[in-house]
Amino acid sequence: MDQKIVFLTIVGMLAVTYIPRMVPLVALASRTLPEPVVRWLSYVPAAVLASMLFPALLLKDGQFDVTPSNYFLWAAVPAFLLAWRTKSFFGTVALGMALVAAGRYFFG
Amino acid sequence: MTIDAVAGEKSGSPMMAAARQVAPIVMGYLPVGAAYGVLAQQAGLSMLNTVLMSILVYAGSAQLIAVALFAGGVTPVSIIATTFVVNLRHMLMSASLAPNLKSWNKWELAVFAYEITDESFAVHSVRFARGDLNKTTCFGINAIAQVSWIVASFAGFLAGASIPSVEPLGIDYALPAMFIALLVMQMKNGLHVLVAGFSGLTAIILIKAGADQWSVILATVIGATFGAGVESWTKK
């Protein structure tokens, strides 16, 4: 593999990744946005997190998996409850990982 | 609109607060970054390019996809175009953080934007909603997170094919579990729960329809529009 071409590709990846990260922040932070836009943006965090999380929990290799062997899905139930009750990042991550590890250890 | 403070986060110095709040990100980044390093090594990237991609691009899923495309002999233009589509969601994250950072100057914003990832965005949006806008903590969280990503990439490259599987420890669940905690912290009222469910299911439908790479940004746009629409409809 030609490492010079790899490097140039990485530079291109840098440009197309950084510009969309930077432009809205620099352009919008100093402005007072119209109320409907602010309201719309206030739903972005919940929407974007759920769009990444749901497929991770419900799909396995692109297929729906709600069988008992989908530990990602079942571990999410107590993890959600713990996060809701305690608001603890660390506790939620530790419990989720422990449950997935336990599922794999005891049930394969 | 209040959000319960995460236990103990009000105490200590700004850097200590950053270290505490970044810990779950680091736990998630170490295994994923190492996996990226291993795959980059196997795909034939040099050590320098492997680490440079984590320094310059710094986008987990896009880096993993790019490595797979390199291994498959895909042209640079296609790799760059795919990266653009996959990372376009960061544009919405950046726009959503902007209203909180009115007092920052353009250079600070430009530097901060460099390290907006799914994970750092999620942590900052929860912090900002809580009123925690400390600049040192903001940059501290971003810097520690990216350093852990770079170190993990490098370690993964060195370990190459001999890296032991992370699955028995459940480490591959660190990121989904973190998203669960962050999503719960976004649930300010019933409409947020509805928007989350709606967006998540939309993303799944889009993936099943074959729009894998567009699923997150499209589902986010549709979900946020749904939320804003329902809000203005019920207020009338």
For residue A72, is it within any domain? Answer: yes
Whether A16 maps to a domain, the answer reads no
Contact yes or no for A17 and B53 at CB 8 A: no
What integer is the mean pLDDT of A16-32?
95
**Per the structure, how many domains does chain A have?**
1
Q: How many residues does chain B have?
A: 236
Q: A35 in a domain, yes or no?
A: no
Asked whether residue B6 carries a pLDDT value surpassing 50, the answer given is: no
CA gyration radius for chain A? 20
Does residue A64 belong to any structural domain of this protein? yes
Contact B173, B186 (CB under 8 A): no
Cβ of B199 within 8 Å of Cβ of A47? The answer is yes
Predicted confidence (pLDDT) at residue B209 exceeds the cutoff of 70: yes
Residues 6+ apart with CB under 8 A from B28: A93, B119, B174, B175, B178
Q: Mind giving me the DSSP string for A66-87?
A: -STT-HHHHHHHHHHHHHHHH-
Residue-level pLDDT at B151? 98
Long-range contacts, A72-79 (Cβ 8 Å, 24+): A72/A100, A72/B173, A72/B176, A74/A99, A74/A103, A75/A99, A75/A100, A75/A103, A75/B173, A75/B177, A76/B176, A76/B177, A76/B180, A79/B177, A79/B180, A79/B181
Query: Does residue A67 form part of some domain?
Result: yes
Give the pTM: 0.84
pLDDT tens-digit series, residues A33-88:
899 999 999 999 999 999 999 999 999 888 999 999 999 999 999 999 999 999 88
Collect all residues with Cβ–Cβ distance below 8 Å to B209 and sequence separation of at least 6: none
Nearest-CA distance A68 → chain B (Å): 16
**What pLDDT, on a 0 to 100 scale, did the predictor assign at position B186?**
86
- Write out chain A residues lying below 8 Å of B6, CB-based: 87-89
pLDDT at B200: 97
Residue B36 to residue B25: CA distance in whole angstroms: 16
**Is B162 exposed, middle or buried (CB count within 10 Å of its CB: 0-12, 13-18, 19+)?**
exposed
Domain containing residue A93 = 46-107
Domain-located, residue A11:
no
At B50-81, the pLDDT tens digits run 999 999 999 988 998 899 899 989 999 999 99
Closest residue in A to B177 (Cα) is A93
